[in-house]
Structure 1
Amino acid sequence: MAAASSPGLKPPGLQDLTAKNLASTWHRWKEEIELYLDLTVKADNQKKRKKMFLYVIGQESREVYETLTFEKEEAERTLKDLIDAFDTYCSPKKNQTVERYKFFTRAQKAGETFDEYLTELRHLATDCGFGEIRDSLIRDRILCGITDGKVRERLLRIKDLTLANCEETCRAAEISQRSLQTMEPVSVHAVIKKTTQMTAEKPMSNNCK
């Protein structure tokens, strides 16, 4: 299906090939450029889509493009060929042993919410090659890595614990803890206020005779 023309649509910014986390930066930029091209250039106009990609990506990235290896000559290359080449350049194959070490040693940090911790574990698991046991290993890492020992004990008591059960229990415990922290100062203040009022209202005994 041909894309509608949107000439006023602003293109994504230049791709930064010097970014610290290049793979993640490239992945986000690739999504943006693909959306931009879908909205501005007809799908059947591959030649224009390729030229637009090379224009938007910027001078520094075009210089990198000149160094990339292709099986096809310039005129025969498609947009997909270009994107695949940059995928390889920006996301080189990682050392699986190192990635697994990062995953298995990642503990929840002080002040880090459960969902933040879970998101990080999911991200770390991406390059570990866990396959079908991925969810069970994330569950195990949560069990070992969470900071709340009482929640850990609760998880250990659950028979046939799944990742879904684990997530539900940890979130519920965190919400409960936040609620208690919110209520306690109010309760203490209310008790102090009530005590003060009672003291003020208590009539003074007259011991004078």
Structure 2
Amino acid sequence: MDKLKPPHELKIAGGNLADRWERFLERFRWYLAAVGEDGSEDKMKVAILLTVVGAEAQEVFRTFTYEPAKAAVGNPPAVQAETAGQCNTVVRKFTEFCVPRKNVIYERYVFHTRVQGEGETIDSFTTDLRLKSQSCEFGSLQAKPDT
């Protein structure tokens, strides 16, 4: 297991950042489970995340701000302070940064201009089209896998 490669770095610039973040996060969670760190303390998970996420995303991490603790006033319960050492908080901050940057018009352009490459199998081509259609928000027009 010590030879297990971490997920590829998260590329911030260009394309569908929301999709890349979701895929990175999925691979990161698999990686944590594979190396036996999914039950680790938050500080360790954050350290692993920041190690594998790459330099571009580390720069984004440095811009995050965290909410201070709020005392209970009346009925609402007190809110604990957010910190950079809480894995769920850091993941949420990255999600907030990445998800709004999805450009549906661009994603549809990419889908509609996709051309089957020379030597590319029809299975590979249709699989790529199905993957690309997921970020296009086609709704009921989106292809469903065969059941």
- Taking structure 1 as the reference length, what is the TM-score of the superposition? 0.46
- 2:86 corresponds in structure 1 to 78
Aligned partners of 2:103, 2:55: CA distance in 1, in Å?
Answer: 31
Aligned to 1:15: 9
Q: 2:31 aligns with which of 36, 42, 54?
A: 36
Cα-to-partner distance string for 1:146-199 (whole Å, 9 max, x where unaligned): xxxxxxxxxxxxxxxxx85xxxxxxxxxxxxxxxxxxxxxxxxxxxxxxxxxxx
Equivalent AA in structure 2 for residue 131 of structure 1: G
2:48 aligned counterpart, secondary structure = helix
Match of 2:107 in 1: 99
Instruction: Say if 1:15 and 1:26, in contact at 8 Å, map to a contact too.
Output: no
1:46 Cα deviation after fit: 2.6
Following superposition, the deviation at residue 12 of structure 1 comes to 1.4
Q: Is contact 2:7–2:31 with CA below 8 Å preserved after alignment?
A: no
How high is the TM-score relative to the length of structure 2? 0.60
Q: Structure 1: how far apart are the matches of 2:31 and 2:119?
A: 38
Answer yes or no: is 1:53 the counterpart of 2:22: no
**Contiguous gaps of at least 5 residues in structure 2:** 69-80
In the alignment, structure 1 segments of 5+ residues that lack a partner are 1-5, 137-162, 165-209
* DSSP 3-state at the match of 2:136: coil
Q: Secondary structure at the match of 2:143?
A: helix
Structure scoring higher RCO (CA < 8 A, sep ≥ 6) equals 2
* Alignment-derived partner of residue 136 in structure 2: 128
Q: Is the 8 A contact 2:42 2:85 kept in 1?
A: no
Bigger radius of gyration, 1 or 2?
1
Structure 1 residue matching 2:90: 3-state secondary structure:
helix
Report 1:1-209 matches (<5 A).
8=2, 10=4, 12=6, 15-17=9-11, 23=17, 26-38=21-33, 39-41=35-37, 43=39, 45-57=41-53, 61-71=57-67, 73-75=81-83, 78-135=86-143, 164=146
The alpha-carbon deviation at position 65 of structure 1 amounts to: 0.4
